[in-house]
Structure 1
Amino acid sequence: MVSEKDFIPAKYTNSIEKGAVKWSAPSNIALVKYWGKKENQIPANPSISFTLNHCKTITSLAFSKKETTGNFSFDLLFEGKPKEDFKPKIQKFLERIEPYLPFLKEYHFEIDTQNTFPHSSGIASSASGMSALAMNLMSLEKQLHPEMTDDYFFQKASFLARLGSGSACRSVKGSVVVWGNSEITGSSDLFGVEFPNKIHDNFKNYQDTILLVDKGEKQVSSTVGHDLMHDHPYAERRFEQAHENLSKIKTVLESGNLDEFIKIVESEALTLHAMMMTSMPYFILMKPNTLEIINKIWKFRTETQIPVCFTLDAGANVHVLYPENVSDKVLDFIKNELVGYCQNSQYICDEIGFGATKL
């Protein structure tokens, strides 16, 4: 069993004065949701996600050795411009990961980051952003310790990304990632692991069209929402349900049973929002147009028998999931019947991807 101590490095065998690296890391969408966490970004229940392909963060990291090592030192650019309001989150991330990357205060960093999707589009960028930054920092550590294995590199990158944003640990690899101790071989609370079993061809190149219902700032942050699970009247039963659904979806991903996939995925999405509506204080992140889209999807699926379904993250936007072989029909349906419910008619076409990439 891997523990946190396994990610504390021994003495480095190499030294480096300066350099630069660049990685892209994708967003991901959970099929079985995690909601609620313990100390140190440990999930209250396991989750499983599709790694996306086009919705990603591209981050470059330039580093140079400092003369003094007292504090963290970094400049942050977002899409080429200084972004001061992002800096506290990066500062907190560096503080959390310093025990595992003891060289951090020895360098000045220039972090330049951009998203391939519109910022504040309502698509979670913390997962892709923290994952991309973790990949860059691990590239620096690998230069300091060239003997590091690839397995350790990616496992530790996922471990570090988790300390920045829980779901970021699911953005390091692809195409299906499990996070949280469960019946799935190799799974861990500390990092995400690739789904170890053969995935049915039905799920190859699975499509995700993201309908941007509301691009505004969420009225409740995910951190606050997770914290509300501590005294939630239905928390324990929800955590049991997540384990049960993970077991079911494991079988579904192997068998290709799309009807069962749809039931689990849609139930999980609605359960996530039910937890928000029944916490204290309670809140609703869905918008009227979210519900309109869901009802339209149900009607279309009943009338056509096309296996299209929805999922939601902790927001109003709708992820429309469907197999590649029905893409033309589903996209026609989206353009003709659903786009009108999107803010400024905006939507993003994505598909299953394969994780972070060095550029």
Structure 2
Amino acid sequence: MSTDTSVRSVTCQASPNIALIKYWGKRNEELILPDNDSLSITLDLTDMHSYTTVSTSPSMACDTFYFEGVLQTKLSSRMQKVLGEVRRRAKDMQNQFVEIRSQNTFPASSGLASSASAYASLAIALTKLFNLDNPDATAAYLARIGSGSAIRSVYGGFVRWSSEGECLSSCLFPMEHWPDLRLIILIFNPSKKPVSSTDAMQRTRETSTLFSARLATVNDKIEKLIEAIRIKDFNTFAKIVMMDSSQFHAVCMDTYPPVIYLNEQSKHLIDLVHAYNKTDENGAMKVAYTFDAGPNPFCFIREEHTEEFLRLLKYIYPTVDNNVHKHVANSDAKLPSINVPIAPNVLERIVLTKIGSGPKIIS
């Protein structure tokens, strides 16, 4: 970074969001206008976040981007689009360039919503640095044209992204609304996904016969899910979230050529969750899963069941790396009615987290 004393900079942290009802398909590729509404939970900054610093100075000769400390050879077209929109709106950026430095505390491009947190933190930092008008709506717009789902990471709590009007996002319930809800993220494969979400969405719109059927069901599911969240009905919450995840991946499979994000470990976890839920003598749901565009599951669970499920994960997914199961010491958690094969050394990391309050300006 330049040592020029005229440098101005802003640093912002933003966390990924996990879609409960998925966004899949764009009716306008340029502006990233979604085909359907989506609903998500923003994660806690402490456990997973992108950290982005944007700086500007009259002495800078061009825009530059560093990711994880490495200078990138060029800016992506989306990043250029975001900067172009900032220049259009800013009063003092017409002839100024920026330096962007970004890093994540979790793997990128592996279905963990790294682009959402990255572009949300970038959008908020740029809005603050150049003192843009209507900062909340402006940051949301900038985040969306960078990466669609990033528009949900500009807020904390439970967030809805509308497909109508200006296609902006809003917080439906703050993080404090459901304080005992936890998330357990299992990272089986941190590798870059084989097909980007952008390419896969376009392919789906062009070829999937199930796509229109999915769009016809989304709004009804969202309204039912919002009511379940409002009254903290975990049984209904869990069923809707898991069914939407399955429907989303069915549409991906119905795409031609098929887009396959789930792997054998993903399917194994699905079997484990359903087997574990059957152990409740009252038939109540204990845990729910969802998968974004990747093989790594996001599990929602209430605090009362968290320790038991973590012990079960340690039993089912043993590993030589003791740090993987650092959240639990006891592995004696096999339940007699669970008949799921043990899968050793397939789990690389567990992230135990909760609902977050949203992005934060650091400096």
TM-score by length of 1: 0.83
Q: Distance in 2 between matches of 1:36 and 1:87?
A: 21
Look up the equivalent residue of 1:153 and give its one-letter code.
Answer: P
Q: Does 1:352 align with 2:336?
A: no
Gaps of 5+ in 1: 1-16, 183-187
Picking from 21, 34, 38, the partner of 1:43 is 34
TM-score by length of 2: 0.82
How well do the aligned residues superpose, as a CA RMSD in angstroms? 2.5
Higher fraction of helix = 1
Q: Does 1:65 align with 2:62?
A: no
Native 8 Å contact 2:156 2:356 kept in 1? yes
In the alignment, which residue of structure 2 is the partner of 1:255? 231
Distance of aligned partners of 1:338 and 1:100 in 2 relative to their CA distance in 1, 3 Å threshold = farther
Q: Does 1:280 align with 2:271?
A: no
After TM superposition, the structure 1 stretch with the greater mean CA deviation from structure 2, 80-89 or 228-237, is 80-89
In the alignment, which residue of structure 2 is the partner of 1:9? none
Q: Distance in 2 between matches of 1:301 and 1:204?
A: 21
Native 8 Å contact 1:57 1:125 kept in 2? yes
Q: Distance in 2 between matches of 1:27 and 1:336?
A: 28
* Residues 123-170 of structure 1: CA deviation (Å, up to 9, x unaligned): 22110000110011100222xx6xx5xxx3122111110000000000
Within 5 A, what are the aligned runs for 1:293-304?
293-304=269-280
Deviation at 1:81, TM superposition (A): 2.5
Gaps of 5+ in 2: 1-5, 319-342
Picking from 128, 142, 162, the partner of 2:144 is 162
Query: Identity rate of aligned residues, in percent?
Result: 28
After TM superposition, where is structure 1 displaced by more than 6 Å over at least 4 residues in a row? none
Matched residue of 1:84: which SS?
A: coil
Q: Distance in 1 between matches of 2:175 and 2:357?
A: 14
Distance of aligned partners of 1:277 and 1:139 in 2 relative to their CA distance in 1, 3 Å threshold = same
Matched residue of 1:38: which SS?
A: strand
Distance of aligned partners of 1:198 and 1:18 in 2 relative to their CA distance in 1, 3 Å threshold = closer
In the alignment, which residue of structure 1 is the partner of 2:268? 292
Deviation at 1:93, TM superposition (A): 3.3
Native 8 Å contact 1:96 1:163 kept in 2? no
Give the number of aligned pairs.
Answer: 326
Picking from 199, 208, 214, the partner of 2:189 is 214
Deviation at 1:214, TM superposition (A): 1.8
Distance of aligned partners of 1:298 and 1:158 in 2 relative to their CA distance in 1, 3 Å threshold = same
In the alignment, which residue of structure 2 is the partner of 1:333? 312
Distance of aligned partners of 1:137 and 1:67 in 2 relative to their CA distance in 1, 3 Å threshold = closer
In the alignment, which residue of structure 2 is the partner of 1:131? 120
Deviation at 1:291, TM superposition (A): 0.3
Q: Distance in 2 between matches of 1:355 and 1:215?
A: 24
Picking from 165, 170, 184, the partner of 1:193 is 170
